[in-house]
Structure 1
Amino acid sequence: MAEVTPTLSIGEVSERTGLSVHALRFYEHEGLFVNPVRRGPGGRRVYGQDDVAWLDVCIILRASGMPVTALRRYADLVREGAGNVEERLALMREHQERVTAEISRLTESLDLIRFKVGVYEDLVDQGGAAAHQCHAPSPSAEADGMPVLQHGTAVR
């Protein structure tokens, strides 16, 4: 007896992945699925668990900033099967570099935000009476021992 693969409706896949029905149709239209989306007896889209697993990968890659064009290329490579591991690796390394650079930019931003939070907490603790410049960098900030961000902006 053949094993029956459970099928999911577009609504069920939407619930499981958090993607809207519109987004699922967009993914199909853009060629982002590895396997063609199947149709049930009434012509409605039906999905398998493997489709949901692939969508989970797509969601993570998109959330990390991978452009749709790169995701499409990745899906194409996966669809082609074995023999293109070097291309997949190159695509993922390029994306890894973009994500690493973004993390660095966000870390720098977070450092500044943390500093500002500390300054404002100190002002609140002092009753807000102290006048303090907390918005403009000073040319002499580094000489004054103030932290300076990588791009040269003093932290105030």
Structure 2
Amino acid sequence: MATYSPAEAAAQSGFSIDTLRYYEREGILPRIERSAGGRRVYSDGDLWMLGFLRCLRDTGMSIEQLRRYGELSRDENTMPERVALLEEHAASIRGRIAELDTVLARVEEKADWYRGEIRRTEGAATS
């Protein structure tokens, strides 16, 4: 089984070492194994979880929700609750995508207007 140092886990997950410690302390991450010398040693499973937490965080999941997901993940009997939490988050993401589509359309409309003005100005200058 491959193991990773905190620095390697941080580099692969995109989280800082401080964030990794915070996530463990807050129960977002399960307790990380330690070496004989007391240093944290991350497994492939830990890195997978960090990657998923990065996905959740990057899509706006709050620390409270991450904490809840971490708690639920430690109990095999909570799969329905995990599904509900992830479905709620997915609905939030879809809402944000719809909002972004709306503002994207406005930005593109304005860019189109500017392009039209540029063409009109260039056409007037060559006449």
Q: Secondary structure at the match of 1:45?
A: coil
Identity, in percent, stands at: 34
Instruction: Give the paired residue count.
Output: 124
| Kept in 1: contact 2:5–2:40 (CA 8 A) | yes
Partners of 1:123 and 1:74 in 2: CA distance: 51
Q: Secondary structure at the match of 1:94?
A: helix
State yes or no: 1:26 paired with 2:58: no
State yes or no: 1:104 paired with 2:73: no
State yes or no: 1:62 paired with 2:60: no
Q: CA RMSD, aligned part only?
A: 1.8
**Correspondence for 2:42:** 47
- TM-score by length of structure 2 reads 0.88
TM-aligned CA deviation for residue 62 of structure 1: 0.7
Q: Which has the higher contact order (CA 8 A, sep 6+)?
A: 2
TM-aligned CA deviation for residue 41 of structure 1: 2.1
**Correspondence for 2:4:** 8
Amino acid at match of 1:20: S
**Correspondence for 1:115:** 109
Alignment gaps of 5+ in structure 1 = 131-156
Of 87, 107, 115, 1:93 maps to: 87
CA deviation string 1:43-77 (max 9, x = no partner): 21111111000101100011111111111111111
Alignment gaps of 5+ in structure 2 = none
**Correspondence for 1:78:** 73
Partners of 1:20 and 1:6 in 2: CA distance: 21
* Cα separation, partners in 2 of 1:105 and 1:128, compared to 1, 3 Å: farther
Which has the greater radius of gyration? 1
